[in-house]
Chain A
Amino acid sequence: MRSGLLAVSRVLRAVSTTALWLSGAGLVAMTAIVAYQVYMRYVVNASPPWTEAGSIQIMSWFIFLGAAVGVRERFHMGFDVLLYALPPAAKPWLRSISDVAIFGFGFGMLWYGGELAIRGASVRIPVLGLPQTVTYLPIVVSGFLICLFVLERMALRLAGEPVDADAVEPTLNEAS
């Protein structure tokens, strides 16, 4: 049971790392696109019309993928007011409440993002010509990953793994 759980955890770790790398690639692509617009407009005087919409789409991807990674790496910012006031034994309980909330919102992203994506299939994004579905896919994918990552943490907590054993203050650890 426990070893099976840890194996799943390793897989999810790889998923999370992949998502992070894709996000990074998105940032680099966005840099290139905006620079390309400046060059084409100022030097060539022929602005490509798709750069604004295109870079926004990419930004949306890397924010939502990154947000999912943040659930696993716990780099989202919060106020741990009550944690200072209550005894340490309360911590897993508080964290469990948070995890339920995170799961709920992640599920909403998956479900309702899916509704938006489906309706968007018949709508074209102006200038890009892609279906509107593309706009909402990042939320759907991110919601799915958030659900996975938070279920993983809940399962590990139940199995007695020290998932809540970090510093009280959220850390923004460097890439490792």
Chain B
Amino acid sequence: MEYWILFGVFGVLMVVGTPIAFSLGIASFATIVYLGRPPVVVFQQLNSGVSAFTLMAIPFFIFAGDLMMRGGIAARIIAFAGSVVGHIRGGLGQVNVVASTLFGGISGSAVAEAAAVGGIMIPQMKARGYGADYAVNVTSMAALIALLLPPSHNMIIYSLSGGGRISIADLFTAGIIPGLLLALALMITAYIVARKRGYPTEPFPGFAKAFQYFLISIPGLLLIAIIFGGVRSGIFTATESSCIAVIYALLVTLLVYRTMTWSAFVHCVIGAVRTTAMVLFIIGAAASFGWLMAYLRVAPILTEAVGQLTSDPLMVLLLINVLLLLLGTFMDMGPLIIITTPIFLPMVSSFGVDPVHFGVIMILNLGIGLNTPPLGPVQFVAAAVGKISIWAAMRSVWPFYLAGIIVLGLVTYIPALSLWLPALFRG
């Protein structure tokens, strides 16, 4: 019965059009009342769900994106990028994927990445005549690259959940080829969709003009170098880099371009607060919902059911993938890794699946779950930055899902994609 209340109340409220955060919250509230346990826990988890330092990357990158946009940094970067790739159909889609791959090399958070790259790219893509949904979908799927490329704190969680005997260094290297593969698949998809939609192309302006754009955009481009270099050389952490991005954007627009005014600054602050409050409130309510799911043991029950269904290794991997995609729809990545790894890992290990390989499958799979409603934090961030509804994003996301699922299939059934590189590094 309690399972029906949790999912039923949530489903009904969602259909009625109640905001996601409140649907999650009331469903959790109703369930805990039914269970006769003190409801305080729902509101405690609402608060703890947003009280994580690493989540700070969301407001900071969104804020930085707003500053760059209003202060003209973004426009100058895009003018340069446009001069170089503008003659390719959907060129900015490609730029978006490349930028995501770069950011993915310093950040392990897909949500932060969607905020960082989306904050800069989506408004400019819209301004250049790309559909907002296209921009949002490219951003949200490309953000998953951050999960696969090192560093990736989710891989550390996976290693811990697997009993701590899986080398984190191996996991980090194992994600590199799948991460680049995902980038490639998304670039191809972005190109195909752009052709189909007939997105505008612009003639190549010539090397002289492109070089001129390049010079003007140097202060903006330096931001990427500063963030990358700063994290790599240990000056600040990946999460802190989001704050540095804000400070840098502010300095450049105030002192170099002299475009930032007090009123523009206030607009950026208020805009960032609105977007962040909406997204993080959902993340908080999802923590309450996730707590109830843990309390009711939803994931272990479903997971054990998979074990009973079949013992054919390929089928088991397929079923695990499907199940994780479903669970990932409702639950966040960290808790799911913690709950399902101890059950799945021994299962697949008995068929000879390498724990490092399985880790990559799991991260990519649950990553796609970050982009599926009703609970898709990465998609929420991207849609919020793009100022469209999830509904609008969903209608045209299918080709991008397909790309992700094809990569997931390849990674699942070709172990070498994950295991070749770590073996090479170990020598």
Contacts and interface: CB of A to CB of B under 8 A. Distances in A.
Interface string A57-95: 001101111110110010111111111000000000011
B402 interface: no
Interface of A: 20-21, 23-24, 26-28, 30-31, 34-35, 37-38, 42, 52, 55-56, 59-60, 62-67, 69-70, 73, 75-83, 94-95, 97-98, 101-102, 104-105, 108-109, 112-113, 115-116, 135-136, 138-139, 169-172, 174-175
B46 A109 contact: yes
Nearest to B277: A66
7 contacts: A24-B273, A62-B277, A65-B277, A78-B20, A81-B14, A81-B391, A169-B392
A75 B274 contact: yes
A135 B22 CA distance: 21
A138 B281 CA distance: 12
A21 B271 CA distance: 11
A175 B274 contact: yes
B280 interface: yes
A31 B241 CA distance: 11
Contact of A104 (B21, B29, B384): B29
A67 B281 contact: yes
Given A35-B243, A65-B277, A75-B274, A82 B22 contact: no
Contacts of A28: 269
Contact of B19 (A34, A77, A97, A175): A77
A63 B277 contact: yes
B278 A116 contact: no
A31 B373 contact: no
Interface of B: 13-23, 25-26, 29, 39-40, 42-44, 46-47, 50-53, 55-56, 59-60, 63, 235-236, 240, 243-244, 246-247, 266-267, 269-278, 280-282, 284, 373-374, 380, 383-384, 387-392
B384 A98 contact: no
Nearest to B25: A105
Nearest to B29: A108
Central interface residue in A102, A113, A139, by most chain B CB within 10 Å: A102
Nearest to B282: A77
Given A31-B63, A34-B56, A77-B380, A66 B273 contact: yes
Given A70-B277, A98-B18, A115-B40, A30 B56 contact: yes
A101 B26 contact: yes
A76 B22 contact: yes
B39 A95 contact: no
A102 B266 CA distance: 29
